[in-house]
Structure 1
């Protein structure tokens, strides 16, 4: 492990990945310190979702390595990665539509070797974050609104008590009001000490929320830095903020 990798919550080094013969990522490098909030921005097809899928083990890297809390998880199974402290809120939510809200949430704790009382305590914390989910606890997830489903997806990831939470396009298909609710929840989660990595189509909102950001283009990191500096960067504003 390099000196720069020590003490980092998440490190991606020289990552290459794709789908079959189609390569999407080329030599991606990024690092996230414990307790940091980092955004990954870029145009559609830049490789943002593939990066998060590689981190969570859904996509197998063809080169490079990924460290979670200093542990190499590059070839680990998704279940082991979750058990190691990663929470993943996928694009499109991927809920079990014919299961209740509570059942979907409890699935998020399946990798934790904890007593039922501890799981119930975490569930209570999720309900505190999203009171509407407690009201809908017995309702089938597939009958919820898009915003409510996104709350379930975030809550399910939090049920694993992750040290690092990666979130993919949480505002997709949501109203501005519901987007604000979800982002306020992410802010609250981060305030509790959880490290957050956010991929989000709303570049302005994500840069205002994050500490730092990386810009992906064509599967490579082309810029990185303080979010405020990137928000003021004329090139970033012209490319992603239509300013």
Structure 2
């Protein structure tokens, strides 16, 4: 995988039409860092990731990737600069095979296309089941297998920064562990990771640092270990 770049979100405001979702959100993911973003449904986590990948256009603030301003860039341009996005809900092409879905992930970056065979072998090493299912239609896979394809497709682009939205949604504990182990391995190789996840305990145990979003604003930040022990976090998100 490509070595990680720094992702910086500064004073971000964004929403949908006249409905504002984010107010003054600032988040930093250092090169090679694993950062988690937690919060209740509707807190603005997905909108933050969509703003980073260019799907949502910010109304204010600045986003930089490796020092380059991507605040107004098109999604295709942002992918070429090294961002990989695993969206909530996976968004696979159900009538295409596993292999075809994975190959699409390498299509936008020349360097990824050139290294496609090597990267595919790496994805299969992270998710051996995908090698077994390579010729199977993606729409016929289990939810966990589809999530593996979604992560694998993003990795096929050889991203320097990977943003991941709710990867455990609808997955069994075993499948969740498999996906999170892959994310841990990718980060250990140097890729920067920004994770949005409903499994707060698992996220904070993996993350170097984390942010808490409430009503479209960052209300708390710290190391994953510190937030895991924070009384307000434990009460609100861990039922402890």
TM-score class, shorter: over 0.9
Equivalent residues of 1:8, 1:31 under 8 A apart: no
Could you tell me which residue of structure 2 aligns to residue 232 of structure 1? 229
Give 1:146 deviation, angstroms.
0.2
Within 5 Å, give how 1:69-108 maps onto structure 2: 69-108=66-105
Give 1:30 deviation, angstroms.
1.0
Say yes or no: does 1:195 pair with 2:204.
no
Residue-by-residue CA offset, 1:78-132 (whole Å, 9 max, x unaligned): 0110110000000000000000000000000011114866211111111111110
Say yes or no: does 1:11 pair with 2:8.
yes
Could you tell me which residue of structure 1 aligns to residue 110 of structure 2? 113
Residue 126 of structure 1: which of 119, 123, 128 is its match? Answer: 123
Q: Which runs of 4+ in 1 moved over 4 A?
A: none
Could you tell me which residue of structure 2 aligns to residue 210 of structure 1? 207
Distance in 2 separating the partners of 1:156 and 1:238: 36
Residue 27 of structure 1: which of 24, 28, 51 is its match? Answer: 24
Give 1:8 deviation, angstroms.
6.6
Specify whether residues 72 and 232 from structure 1 end up closer, same or farther in structure 2 by C-alpha distance, changes over 3 A only: same
Distance in 1 separating the partners of 2:130 and 2:44: 32
Residue-by-residue CA offset, 1:27-47 (whole Å, 9 max, x unaligned): 001111101000000000000
**SS of the residue 2:8 aligns to:** strand
**SS of the residue 1:230 aligns to:** helix
Root mean square deviation, CA, Å: 1.2
Give the TM-score of the pair, scaled to structure 1.
Answer: 0.95
State which drifts further: 112-121 or 49-58: 112-121
Could you tell me which residue of structure 2 aligns to residue 143 of structure 1? 140
Q: Give the gaps of 5 or more residues in structure 1.
A: 1-6
Specify whether residues 173 and 115 from structure 1 end up closer, same or farther in structure 2 by C-alpha distance, changes over 3 A only: closer
Give the TM-score of the pair, scaled to structure 2.
Answer: 0.97
Distance in 2 separating the partners of 1:94 and 1:138: 18
**SS of the residue 2:115 aligns to:** helix
**SS of the residue 1:13 aligns to:** strand
Q: Give the gaps of 5 or more residues in structure 2.
A: none
